[in-house]
A and B are shown apart, each in its own frame.
Chain A
Amino acid sequence: MKGIKLIACLSLGAAAAATAICVQAATPAAPAAYKAPLNAYGQPDLEGTWTNASLTTLERSKEFGARKALSDAEVKKIEGEDAKMVAEGNAPTDPKVKTTDLPHECGRGFSGAGCGYNVAWIDPGSTVMRVNGEPRSSFLTEPADGRLPPLKAGVVLPPMYAHRGENPENMTLAERCLTSFGYSAGPIMLPLLYNNNYEIAQSKDTVAIVVEMVHDVRLIHIGGKHRTDGERPWMGDSIGWYEGPTLVVETTNFPQDTALHGAWKDLKVTERFTRVGPHRVLYQFKAVDPSVWDQPIAGEYEFSASKGRIFEYACHEGNYALEGILSGARADEAAAAEKAKAAAANKTAAAAPVTGTKKQ
């Protein structure tokens, strides 16, 4: 089971690495009819359990060009295809079928044994993202084509899977249970294949965002100042303030290990959280890193209220997959060495002159 989970996650990780990112910001105004509640401190009340699960992705499919809104027909097609895939995935599996008989393609980029989870185990959302009711083709709204801008000349992303399997440190942060896959914790906070749940809690001087994967808590210091000691904590260094109904969060000091599509050293992410309905929080984001991109990236989506509470995601404590991967790599090496040894022995035997003692 662990191995199956891992395969699915790896595929997701690879996809995230290839497309990663972020966002931006648009400035949609909150619907005038809704007045966001205040909490006991007189701050905009953002507390609750929220999810950003969505069929909409960070980047826009090229077929939509500069169009950020989807038509009704396009929504029906996207959501219909997902529902069909889910129904097929939920169909009983013939117990006689082997992993080698698995369908070549099973959706979301997975195939064969990499099909991983049954659909019951994943929760990527079943609807496209709607912002102020408008169905969206991507989270990104800037650049206008909804796609990440090219990296500046000379910027090279480190290979993601170099020396994979050689040491635990060569594995991804998520496989090591250090952070989530993709950018679940953020910032920028982006949905994944599953566990797209967050809890927001507010005190007078702190906002805590609990991230289901991997039970990370991002603490935002209201009225605080960025650290200047050169240290770069996980998830960066977040400070915040309130602007009317909106919580504004500014994050800098990102570590290289959690680079956002190559951006970390000079990266500044600005997020805006605005409650736009009893069960909706508008999330807008903007990321700037002049050393990586020639232009900001920005985008938006809406969190919706999660129906349940967040359960514990104790990743490390059950991470049999990492041990399995490393053990598997060592087994592969041993098998390869044995095969090479046998081949060498055969070659030697074939090349050796025929000798023997004739009986006189």
Chain B
Amino acid sequence: MTNAKRTDVLLIVGAVAVLVSGWVHFYLYFRGGYRGIAPEAIGGLTISRSFAMNAIAAVVIAEGLVLATRFRALVLPAAAGGALFGVATIGAYLLSRTSGLLGFEESATTSKAIIALVAEAVAVLALTPVAVGAVIGWRSSPSTVTASASTSASG
């Protein structure tokens, strides 16, 4: 498998994983009872709204990841965004299990939480090497990457 194909596979795996995490948050928002909970708000952000934002962000990032298979200039921002999404979502969950997040504490482990955690871990594992590889490639020859990106975009 060539590097380009390997990158494409990792981008697609990452996109699916991010979408799965987003779906769990979407489901919990509309069907899990999380739509109306707001024990605390910081700058208008509540635990309820953070679930909605997670679902929307997942779709945007997944779109970027899929498009990155065609437009190479998107590889770094999309892969980095996907990896950060995974890390941030796992971090938010761990906060809710320990010190609390936006006044919300969770002490039970549900099947949805496990699905989301696995998906987020897959996203981080798939997309971090892609993002790191893109950074290394850009630092070693930024003009090549730019040229490659524009060639890909025009093709």
Genuine A/B complex: no
Q: Which residues of B are in contact with A by a Cβ distance under 8 Å?
A: none
